[in-house]
Amino acid sequence: MRTLLARSLAAAVLLLAAGTARAQTTSFYRPVQSMWSLSYQMGETLGDVANFIDETSWAGFRLDFRWRVRENLSAGIVTDWSRYDQTFSMLTVEQPNGAVSGPVFRYLDTFAVRATAHWYPLKGTVAPYLGVALGGIWTYDYQQVADLAATDTEFAFAGGTHVGLLLTLRPGLALDAGLSWTWTSADVGQTQDAQYLNWRVGLAWYY
Amino acid sequence: MRNRALLLTAALAALVGCYVEVPDEVISGVAVATRRDPGADFAAFQTFRINPEWKTLDGDIEVVEPMPTQIFDTIRQNLLDRGYVEDLTWIPPDGANPPDLGVQVTGVIGQVTVYYPDYWCDPYYYYSCWYWGWGSVDSYEVGTLIIDLIDLYGAPISGNLPTAWTALAYGVLGGYPTYDLPRALEGIDRAFAQSPYLQAGN
């Protein structure tokens, strides 16, 4: 009887411990788990590319996968797409030995795929993080004046930093919000030094 | 299931986000391109003479006829405003003492295009492109008004006459005079406005 009681007690302790451990691993995101996040993304152009389009992008998304590599440190891959567009009622573009003027419509698509590393300084329901991303970016720019159009596409280097936080809503699910700065070597619309500042909000699932 | 619905919604939003609609004001707008000879000294020119006849091209048909008065007057006034003096004494084409600048106007009524791949292209008409990355505009589409300032001052005794300045007002000659004329005149004024180097010396 004593043996049975002892065994039952031991089993209960083990089950409780397992339950506690499970509750701990799913109560907030730590880089001991895998996570993927889908976010709505907005953005601004910075640097010389802002001379091509300087209106806010309201169309974009970001898909982010992360895996634990160490305590408080994750590695992963992120892909994001943004559409910037702007209409100029009248624009004069100076060119070598000439100029072109007229009402102009421009848009710019950016699609980046980058490897990431993130650091989580705090643990808890609210988990801020800092990260870096390095990889490539595909850009497609289009401009049209009257019914004449010019396009250009390029694949270039992209690097940047992220800052954000995960707010756990329930075990396995968090709100993911953050800000990213990206520098690229892409020459968009005859500009150089293309930079982007994106902010986002979305949901993260971890397991 | 909920995740799938979310992904489907996100994919649908992305597709909607990819759709591009060019505003009507851009499609129906007047585009003006200008190009200058980098070696031309526009301050050295003093006098000009406009050919009162213009050449219209409609496919293979070339017609020379009197230029519409409003177009002639607008070009003339722009040149006068920049300090150039109209020379009516010269008897073209072989008279003595020609003016420094000869002005020739061409209207492309039909389609006369040159294909330059990967440059400015007309998305609605196949093989219609023009390139201005190096300052050149070498293709003419339906409804283009072309103004050439010919350098008679430095012209060689024989051979082709050098063009000192070219302006193209695109989409201004569509066959509807009441609609086209204001657009053509706007295009002429803008061509001069975006060429501040066109100024006679004192």
Give me the phi and psi of B44, to 5 degrees please: -80, -20
The string of DSSP letters for B127-195 reads T-EE--TTS----B-TTEEEEEEEE-SS--SSSPPPEEEEEEEET--SS-HHHHHHHHHHHHHHHHHT-
What pLDDT shows up at residue A2? 47
Q: What is the mean pLDDT of chain B?
A: 76
Please tell me the predicted confidence (pLDDT) of residue B89.
85
Q: Among A104-108, A150-154, B129-133, whose mean pLDDT is lowest? A: B129-133
Q: How far is CA B185 from the centre of its chain?
A: 12
pLDDT digits (tens, 9 = 90+) for A76-102: 999 999 999 999 999 888 877 888 899
Kindly report which listed range (A148-157, A171-180, B137-146) carries the lowest average pLDDT score.
B137-146
Please work out, in degrees rounded to the nearest 5, the angle formed at the alpha carbon of residue B109 by the alpha carbons of B194 and B191. 5
A1 lies within 8 A of chain B by CB: no
Give the burial string for A75-108 (b: 16+ CB within 10 Å, else e): bbebebbbbbbbbbeebbbebebbbbbbbbbbbb
Lowest mean pLDDT among A46-50, A105-109, B122-126, B158-162: B122-126
**Number of residues in chain B:** 202
Give how far A150 is from chain B: nearest CA, Å. Answer: 4
In this structure, of A61-75, B79-93, B110-124, B168-182, the range with the lowest mean pLDDT score is B110-124
pLDDT one-digit tens code per residue, B32-72: 988 888 888 999 999 999 988 888 877 777 888 899 999 99
Mean pLDDT is lowest, of A172-176, A195-199, B2-6, for B2-6
- Which residues lie below 8 Å from residue B52, measured CB to CB, with a gap of 6+? B66, B67, B72
- Any chain B CB within 8 A of the CB of A3? no
Rounded distance between C-alpha atoms, residue A127 and residue A165, angstroms: 5
Q: Which H or E run contains B191?
A: helix B177-193
Q: Is the pLDDT of residue A15 over 70?
A: no
Q: Compute the average pLDDT of residues A17-32.
A: 47
Check if the interface score ipTM surpasses 0.90.
Answer: no
The two structure tokens encoding residue A18: 């397992």
Residue B141 has pLDDT above 50, yes or no: yes
Q: How far apart are CA B44 and CA B164, in angstroms?
A: 12
Chain A: closest CA distance from residue B7 (Å): 9
The pLDDT value recorded for residue B24 is 84
Where in chain B are the domains? 30-193
Per-residue pLDDT at A189 exceeds 70: yes
CATH topology of domain B30-193: Double Stranded RNA Binding Domain (3.30.160)
In Å, how far is A118's CA from the nearest CA of chain B?
A: 24
**Chain A neighbors of B198, CB-CB under 8 A:** none
> Which residue would you say has higher pLDDT here, A61 or B17?
A61
pLDDT one-digit tens code per residue, B89-117: 877 766 777 889 989 888 887 655 443 33
Cα gap A52→A86, rounded to integer Å: 9
- Whether residue A147 contacts residue A113, with contact meaning beta carbons closer than 8 Å, is answered with no
Interface touch B17/A83, C-beta < 8 Å: yes
Furthest CA-CA distance within chain B: 89
Taking an 8 Å cut-off on Cβ atoms, the answer to whether A99 and B30 are in contact is: no
Tokens of B168: 């193209």
More confidently predicted of A168 and B161: A168
- Smallest CA–CA distance, residue B81 to chain A, in Å, is 20
Q: B159, exposed or middle or buried, with CB in 10 Å at 0-12, 13-18, 19+?
A: exposed
Cβ–Cβ gap B133/A95 under 8 Å? yes
DSSP A126-148: EEEEEEEEEEEEEEEEEEEETTE
Tell whether A172 lies on the interface with B, counting CB pairs under 8 A.
no
Confidence of residue B19 (pLDDT cuts 50, 70, 90): confident
Low-confidence winner among A35-44, A148-157, A164-173 (lowest mean pLDDT): A148-157
Cα angle vertex B187, ends B184, B188, to 5°? 90
pLDDT(B139) > 60: no
Instruction: Determine contact: A170 vs chain B, CB below 8 A.
Output: no
Average pLDDT in the A111-119 region?
96
Task: Give percent above pLDDT 90 in chain B.
Answer: 26
3-state SS assignment for residue A12:
helix
Alpha-helix runs per DSSP H in B28-157: 69-81
* Residue given tokens 């500042």 in the structure block: A197
The reported pLDDT for the residue numbered B114 is 41
Confidence of residue A39 (pLDDT cuts 50, 70, 90): very high
DSSP letter assigned to residue B172: -
Q: Of the ranges A42-51, A116-125, B89-98, B120-129, which one carries the lowest mean pLDDT score?
A: B120-129
Mutation choice for A interface testing from B125, B132, B137 by most A CBs within 10 A = B132
pLDDT score at A164: 96
Contact between chains at B33 and A99 (C-beta distance less than 8 A):
yes
Q: What is the percent of chain B with per-residue pLDDT over 70, rounded to a whole number?
A: 66
Q: Residue B166 in contact with residue B151, Cβ under 8 Å?
A: no
